[in-house]
Amino acid sequence: MIELAGLTKRYGLKTAVRELTCVIRPGLVTGFLGPNGAGKSTTMRMILGLDHPTAGEARVEGKPYARLTDPLTVVGALLEARAVHPGRTAYHHLLCLAQSNGVPRRRVGEVLDLVGLGPVARKRPRGFSLGMGQRLGIASALLGDPRILIFDEPVNGLDPEGIHWVRNLIRSLAADGRTVFVSSHLMSEMALTADHLIVIGQGQLLADTSMADFIEENARSTTRVRSPDQEALRDALADAGLTAEPARGPGAEGAWELAGDQTEPVGRLAADRGLVLHELCLHRASLEEAFMRLTSQAVEYQARGRAPEG
Ligand code: ADP
């Protein structure tokens, strides 16, 4: 478990993270979302003891990072900037890390196999592709078999196969009962990976909720219906008290759109009236739509909040 309590970081006049309070629980993938500059990396760095909070506290398994004995066995992290000694092979890089952190030597071979780098274990990471470098970073994070994992933008720059692999790995780590905290600016990827979301904007908490509730609350779903007898369909909908508007967007010509999930009443209505339908579908709001709506509201709110009085 990771606990943030009033976590705050100021750099001079700039407040990067402002009184962040939340709990990141085990057994789930918790996605950490926010526009660029929202304070995600700063928060992760404070959890990992790489930056000191101006106020408040971040605790991992009940303690601040600095008070952990053998931190690598409690929390593993993949941060954006990876430091790998250029002269060491992948195997030696991990071995040094293991030896300085009380991790048994056999674990090095295990994590190399786990991330698929077994065949290149004796090669220097200098020649590694971005994807291989990312796998080595993940191997370092997993080395101490920690209960908590923190990944900052883990799929950045990966090809589709690499993205798929990271997604499955992250999901399986949570399924093992570990606490997994992942930041990403890729909404479609997050929608496939995270169970729970923590959203921040300008350093402040905007949402701490399940993925399903977040989408439900912040984006609207619509029902689209199309009939060759467009006018009769519109009249039938109006008679039933269902408000429909001409659908917009590519391929929407001649279709009607209704707010929310109205597929059942519309389907029943069409059957009762003997109307032929060529399309009846629910368009589910995406995480991206929900996120844009929430963060644009936050920007507006901030802008209004800052407007000088009088
Ligand atoms: P994110 O990871 O969400 O993109 P960051 O945590 O990197 O956001 O940055 C949050 C804010 O804090 C940004 O405005 C950034 O410019 C500022 N910031 C981050 N690190 C420093 C630093 N070392 N000195 C000054 N400002 C910083």
Domains of the chain: 2-211 (3.40.50.300), 220-284 (3.30.70.980)
- For the cut 60, the answer to whether the pLDDT of residue 130 exceeds it is yes
Residue of the nearest CA to atom 21 in ligand 1?
11
**Long-range own/partner contacts, residues 83-86 (CB < 8 A, 24 or more apart):** 84/125, 84/133, 84/136, 86/124, 86/125, 86/126
Determine contact, residues 220/260, Cβ cutoff 8 Å.
Answer: yes
Q: Please state, in angstroms and rounded to a whole number, the distance separating the CA atoms of residues 216 and 185.
A: 20
- Is the CB–ligand 1 distance for residue 35 below 6 Å? no
Determine contact, residues 122/150, Cβ cutoff 8 Å.
Answer: no
- Is the CB–ligand 1 distance for residue 81 below 6 Å? no
In the predicted model, what is the mean pLDDT of residues 192-207?
A: 93
Band of pLDDT at residue 82, cut at 50, 70 and 90: low
Determine contact, residues 93/117, Cβ cutoff 8 Å.
Answer: no
Hey, which of 14, 46, 79 would you mutate to test ligand 1's pocket, going by the most ligand atoms within 8 Å of its Cβ? 14
Backbone φ and ψ of 210, nearest 5°: -70, 155
> Could you report the per-residue pLDDT of 243-287, keeping only the tens digit for each?
999 998 777 888 999 998 999 999 999 999 999 999 999 988 788
The angle formed by the CA atoms of residues 199, 200 and 204, to the nearest 5 degrees, is 140
Determine contact, residues 193/171, Cβ cutoff 8 Å.
Answer: yes
Q: What is the pLDDT of residue 84?
A: 66
pTM of the full structure: 0.81
- 3-state helix vs strand vs coil in the chain, percent to 5: 40, 25, 35
Residue of the nearest CA to atom 10 in ligand 1?
39
In the predicted model, what is the mean pLDDT of residues 226-241?
A: 94
Determine the 3-state secondary structure of 204 from DSSP: strand
